[in-house]
Chain A
Amino acid sequence: MQFEVIDEFEREIRESLERQPPPASLKRKVMERRWQNRAQLDPSHTSARQRSRMIWFERIAASLVLAGVAGSAAIGHYAVERRKGEEAKQQVFTALRITNHAFQVMNAQLQQQGKDSH
């Protein structure tokens, strides 16, 4: 009798513990989350919105690089021009110094000739 009771009871347990049908949305949610997880890890799975964002980042980065290159070129050009200006200024000063020296020599010779004539 005891075994019959246990068998009957176990049969009831077995019947009451049949597998339940899963929610209809379970598989869809699993596949969606799987896709999202893969998109985070693999760039080839990125969404159109993420791709568009990345393209904009690339454009901004390229613009910044171009601006940097153009700025560097302008600064280099300015430095060259400034150096040329400095060189020209030095040449003018040198010419003035030579001229001044020639005048001084000529002035000294004139003064010496004046003394000799007296």
Chain B
Amino acid sequence: MAGDWQPDFEQLVDEHQSMVFSLALRMTGDRGLAEEIAQDTFLALDVNLGKIESSQHACLWLRRVAISRSTDALRRRHARGFGQWAEIDESHGARKLERGSALGIRIEALLATLPEAQRAAIILRYQEDLSPEEIAATLGAPLATVKSQLQRGLKLLRAKAESQLKEYIRAV
């Protein structure tokens, strides 16, 4: 345990539940599964609380575990024959429509079609506003790989958007 930082589990849940849930939701597209992943992630944090050295460390740890568990859950779901993003909660889109543009909803749906590694990099870049270096540290991947995933993911996303999102093309 470094410094005087004393972990308060309940406070950590309060601070990071939105981040952990959103990461799992964007990775899986399933609110129910995302909630399960978020719960499991926080319970894993509780078990490993003694190894957490600071608030920043807790945040980094939660991001890494949330992404990792989401990826595992998607693989288990694929192995069982479920389609990816097959059970998107309708209320999720409806709530989004109130706050954001239709384009935003479509971008979120297009994001789901990206390969997992690219999706994780894009989510960490634009949801969590992380630099490529921070993404590399979170995912435990080489920086060059992360930069490549970001470039490819963005390129693929833009190509899909240009071909599918007429609204966006008209706007630009």
B residues touching A (Cβ–Cβ < 8 Å)?
Answer: 9-10, 13-14, 17-22, 25-26, 31, 35, 38-39, 42-43, 46, 92, 96, 99-101, 103-105, 107-108, 111, 122-123, 126-127, 129, 154, 157-158, 161, 168, 172
Contact = CB atoms under 8 A, between A and B. Distances in A.
A42 interface: no
A7 to B, nearest CB: 11
In terms of DSSP, what is the predominant structure of the interface of chain A? helix
A79 to B, nearest CB: 58
Given A13-B122, A17-B26, A22-B21, A30 B158 contact: no
Contacts of A15: 100-101, 104
A13 B107 contact: yes
B156 to A, nearest CB: 12
Interface of A: 5-6, 8-10, 12-23, 25-27, 29-31, 33-34, 37
Contacts of B25: 20
Given A12-B107, A16-B105, A17-B123, A22 B46 contact: no
A6 B42 contact: no
Nearest to B108: A16
Contact of A22 (B18, B122, B129, B158): B18
